[in-house]
Amino acid sequence: MSRVKRKRTDDFLLADEPTDIVIITAVSEQPLEAHLVVLLPCCKVVFDLPRASSGKTTWDLSKLVLEGQSSPVSSAVVRQWLDLVYSRVDAGRQPPKFPSLSEAARSLLLFADAVGTSRVVMDALGDALAAQPGLALPVVVNGGGGGGEGGAAGGGGGPLQLELALRGKLYYYLKSYSLHAFDVPTSGKSYVKRMPVHTVVSGEDLEPFKVALPGAVAAALEGWLYLAGRLGLVALVRLLRDFFQAQLISSFLSILRATAAKVFSRRVLECMPHELLVEGFVSDSLWGPQLGQADVATGSKFSLVMNSEHAAAWFRVASGGQVDGDEIEATNVFKKGGGDNRLRVSVGGMTLAEHQAAMQEVLQQLEEEEAA
């Protein structure tokens, strides 16, 4: 006889218990209320508050101004933080979700940091933010006017506002034409000239902003790398770094071409999570492509199997697809039809699998020693 499982109800144990902390904000007519027992393990500021001998403890946030802002923190931000904390013990409360690294997301992170939110809760917030499907990086590009399409706006002489997907897109722009994006991975099965290409900003609309575009993208990326690194949000730093690396695949047409010094500022490097610095050093030590550098001679003609999703997307084939190149006309530039990209050839060293295995061995050893 099969056993029918009874549907379980996840009741919040404090649902019928009175709240015992009142939270005052500058713009809310009604103060917010919460349970001390929920907040105490998650917030240092609450933990250090003097307790009321009778009645409810008061937490006055009416004069708390977050970094970079001119007015006190809003009740909406505090509510989001309460949802985040309560979601760990109450199935009926959902942590806030952000489709973009917006000012709202920044405000919640800054508030969580300002009130001494516990490491566990901060990590959960950062991980959830980084895992959000379609998470976008807002970019404001100042220029002489114009407008945009496909996620861009800026008519009436104002700035161009973009929402760049942090995963799943490979952007490139033609300085005299438009800002475009390929899907990653592409849906192509073989080389096709007319695979889907998304126009993010048309040429006429991009014209007043094309010179400022790379610097604006770099500035937005630098600001979020700094904040995420300072708050120790490793998953978010990884996502932002991966976005930077991915957009360099566009090579000559990259929206981040020649911006490395702007993205990796002193403050970004000083706040970079230690584990990412270690990973980068070990990876770089295991492979020095400059030591085995070789050039592809002009006049050569060969085929490439695109094992990377980004490289495949650039040449509009599925990952693992083969591209039969045209005769090489310029040293280290692989060309197929109207598409081309730079090649970097290195002789010797480990295979990719050996490289990854060696890295894992070193990092695992370090982790075990630190845990001992």
Q: What pLDDT shows up at residue 10? A: 58
Span 164-178, average pLDDT: 89
Q: Grade residue 371 by pLDDT with cuts at 50, 70 and 90.
A: confident
The encoded tokens of residue 343 equal 């090649």
Span 233-251, average pLDDT: 96
Q: φ and ψ at 163, to 5 degrees?
A: -125, 100
Q: What pLDDT shows up at residue 135? A: 97
Q: Grade residue 8 by pLDDT with cuts at 50, 70 and 90.
A: very low
Q: What pLDDT shows up at residue 69? A: 93
Task: Please give the Cα distance from 69 to 309 (Å, whole number).
Answer: 40
Please write the tens of the pLDDT for every residue from 266-277: 999 999 999 999
Q: What pLDDT shows up at residue 86? A: 93
Span 197-206, average pLDDT: 90
Task: Please give the Cα distance from 46 to 164 (Å, whole number).
Answer: 37
* 152 within 8 A of 162, measured Cβ to Cβ: yes
Q: What pLDDT shows up at residue 156? A: 54
Find, among 199, 189, 197, 200, the residue nearest to 162 by Cα: 200
Q: Grade residue 181 by pLDDT with cuts at 50, 70 and 90.
A: very high
* 350 within 8 A of 287, measured Cβ to Cβ: yes
pTM here is 0.89
Q: What pLDDT shows up at residue 2? A: 40
Task: Please give the Cα distance from 340 to 194 (Å, whole number).
Answer: 15
Mean pLDDT of the chain: 89
Q: What pLDDT shows up at residue 187? A: 67
Span 281-307, average pLDDT: 93
Q: What pLDDT shows up at residue 354? A: 95
Task: Please give the Cα distance from 210 to 255 (Å, whole number).
Answer: 10
Which residue shows structure tokens 């996840």?
A: 10
Please write the tens of the pLDDT for every residue from 96-136: 999 999 999 999 999 999 999 999 999 999 999 999 999 99
The alpha carbon torsion through 236, 100, 77, 113 (nearest 10 deg) reads 20
Q: Tally the residues of the chain.
A: 372
113 bridge partner residues:
none
345 bridge partner residues:
294
Span 62-90, average pLDDT: 94
Please write the tens of the pLDDT for every residue from 329-348: 999 999 998 788 999 999 99
Please write the tens of the pLDDT for every residue from 297-322: 999 999 999 999 999 999 888 889 99
Task: Please give the Cα distance from 268 to 118 (Å, whole number).
Answer: 23
More confident of the two residues 231 and 27: 231
Whether the per-residue pLDDT at 153 is higher than 70: the answer is no
Please write the tens of the pLDDT for every residue from 33-44: 999 999 999 999
More confident of the two residues 199 and 16: 199
Q: What pLDDT shows up at residue 247? A: 97
Whether the per-residue pLDDT at 194 is higher than 70: the answer is no
Whether the per-residue pLDDT at 145 is higher than 60: the answer is no
Span 49-61, average pLDDT: 90
Task: Please give the Cα distance from 66 to 10 (Å, whole number).
Answer: 35
Task: Please give the Cα distance from 316 to 309 (Å, whole number).
Answer: 10
